[in-house]
Amino acid sequence: METYPIPMVPGPVRVPPEVLAALQVDYGSGDLEREFLDLYNQVEANLQQLCATRNRIVVQTGEGMLALWGALKSTLRPGERVLALATGVFGYGIAEMARAIGAEVKIIGLPYDATLNNWEEIEAAIHEFKPKMITAVHCETPSGTLNPLAEVGRLKAKYGVPLLYVDAVSSIGGTPVEVDAWGIDLALGGSQKVLSAPPMMAFVAVSEAAWEIIEQVDYVGYDALKPFRHAQTRFEFPYTPNWHGVASLKVASDLLLQEGLANVFARHEQVAAYCRQRLQALGLRLLPRPEAIPSPTVTAVYVPEGIAWPDLDARFRQHGLVVGGSYGPLAGKVFRLGHMGSQADMRLVTQALDVIEHVVRAL
């Protein structure tokens, strides 16, 4: 496999050596179940800090999509109403997922370079449609945008919507995700983004209101949340505990907390601002549109005119830089720098921008 010294893909991100080392756990001795439970509880406490919540956190083996599906299936019955706030690939995708499981879905959509600001329209839709669940995406990774969710939480509380579901896969740990303050009932995260652990773990912060609904819906499946409700107290994990994955999450979350969350957030802001400033100075056009909010964890850039994305990608790779392409309608039109977690590093980002500058100037 070819390796590139300047990794800037927006997930999976470079795994730090300490986190990789955590995969070499030796669980061949002692009281396995007790030790695993201790580890799981510590990870839960760490993730609670990253999500600013007291809610229980379910850590599942699988990718972010597993948790995204599992949380929907665990809380929705066919015919129930979902209001999907969509500003990008994942926002529209979640609406389709809810439809696939039989929900009645209304989409309030904006273009991919926008972030939620149509509050009157959203409020009217909540009032008229009376959804059981509102879905939203915090950071739309494919377009590098961040949605302001405090206002969604306020509207949810005002109209007594039972559930707020938030995909925060590419923001948790890199920017504040205020689960309790914003009233998020299902906050979804993944290991391979800001946490910079291998891509095998997903997690969901589940509110008490959501647990009640999970009990009623009683969904059965590999991705179901219900079996985790009493997993810690009764030690009844629904499948073999993933010791390696949980151990890697422990070290990854420890690293962020040791640095101090305020410092981690400031590091992401600083790197993102630097990135945007240098790319704009090169004459490149960035997402999102000016009045919208760019994400501190990923920057999306339009491929300059006169060059096709595969050719641009090949030129970056010749200089050791690997960035991300994009998806859906943005595929081939946008490339992305993932400056999250271990890659929110001024030295690394400077190297990446030097390569981009060199390649773009040569065009």
- Binding residues, as ranges, are 336
Least separation in angstroms between residue 200's CB and ligand PLP is: 9
Q: Closest-CB residue for ligand PLP?
A: 64
Please report how close the Cβ of residue 193 comes to ligand PLP at its closest, in angstroms: 7
Interatomic CA distance for residues 140 and 144, integer angstroms: 6
Residue with token string 């019955």: 77
Closer residue to ligand PLP (CB): 47 or 359: 47
Alpha-carbon distance values, 271 to 14, 283, 340, 342 (Å)? 16, 19, 9, 12
Instruction: Return the number of other C-beta atoms located less than 10 Å from residue 72's C-beta.
Output: 23
Toward ligand PLP, which CB reaches closer, 139 or 224?
Answer: 139
In 138-185, the DSSP E strands lie at: 139-140, 145-146, 163-167
Determine contact, residues 337/286, Cβ cutoff 8 Å.
no
Q: Closest approach of Cβ 338 to ligand PLP, in Å?
A: 9
Which residue lies nearer to ligand PLP by CB, 64 or 359?
Answer: 64
Query: In angstroms, rounded to a whole number, what is the distance separating the alpha carbons of residues 85 and 176?
Result: 20
Residue 169 in the binding site for ligand PLP (CB under 6 A): yes
Q: Say whether residue 190 binds ligand PLP (CB under 6 A).
A: yes
Token pair 């690293």: residue: 255
Please count the other Cβ atoms lying within 10 Å of the Cβ belonging to residue 285: 12
CB-wise, 11 or 183, nearer to ligand PLP?
11
Tell me if 170 contacts ligand PLP by CB under 6 A.
yes
From 40-48, 163-171, 173-181, 233-241, span contacting ligand PLP (CB under 6 A): 163-171
Q: Tell whether residue 11 is a contact of ligand PLP (CB under 6 A).
A: yes
The SS3 of residue 126 is helix
Q: Which amino acid is at 266?
A: A
CB of 170 to ligand PLP, least distance (A): 4
Pick the piece of the chain touching ligand PLP (CB under 6 A) from 97-105, 165-173, 227-235, 250-258: 165-173
**CA 335 → CA 98, 235, 289, 295, 308, distances in Å?**
29, 45, 16, 14, 11
Contact present, 61 and 249 (Cβ < 8 Å): no
Q: Closest approach of Cβ 238 to ligand PLP, in Å?
A: 19
3-state secondary structure of 76: coil
Q: Which of 113, 167, 223, 313 binds ligand PLP (CB under 6 A)?
A: 167
- Residue ranges for the known binding site for substrate are 336
Taking the alpha carbons of 6, 11, 16, 17 in that order, is the dihedral positive or negative? negative
Q: Kindly tell me which residue out of 109, 162, 199, 304 binds ligand PLP, with binding defined by CB under 6 A.
A: 199
Q: Please, what is the minimum distance in Å from the beta carbon of residue 225 to ligand PLP?
A: 16
Contact call for residue 223 and ligand PLP (CB under 6 A): no
Q: How many residues does the chain have?
A: 363
Contact 286, 353 (CB under 8 A): no
With the C-alpha atoms ordered 168, 172, 177, 182, is the resulting torsion angle positive or negative?
positive
CA distance 210 to 237: 19
- Please give the backbone phi and psi of residue 245, each rounded to the nearest 5 degrees, phi first: -65, -45
Site string for ligand PLP, 234-263 (x = CB under 6 A): ------------------------------
Q: How far is the CB of 167 from ligand PLP (least distance, A)?
A: 5
Site for ligand PLP in 260-319 (CB under 6 A): none
CB of 202 to ligand PLP, least distance (A): 7
143 scored as a contact of ligand PLP (CB under 6 A):
no
Show the binding pattern over residues 45-74: x = contacts ligand PLP (CB under 6 A), - = does not: ------------------xxx--x------
- Residues at the contact surface with ligand PLP, assessed by CB under 6 A: 11, 63-65, 68, 90, 137, 139, 141, 167, 169-170, 190, 199
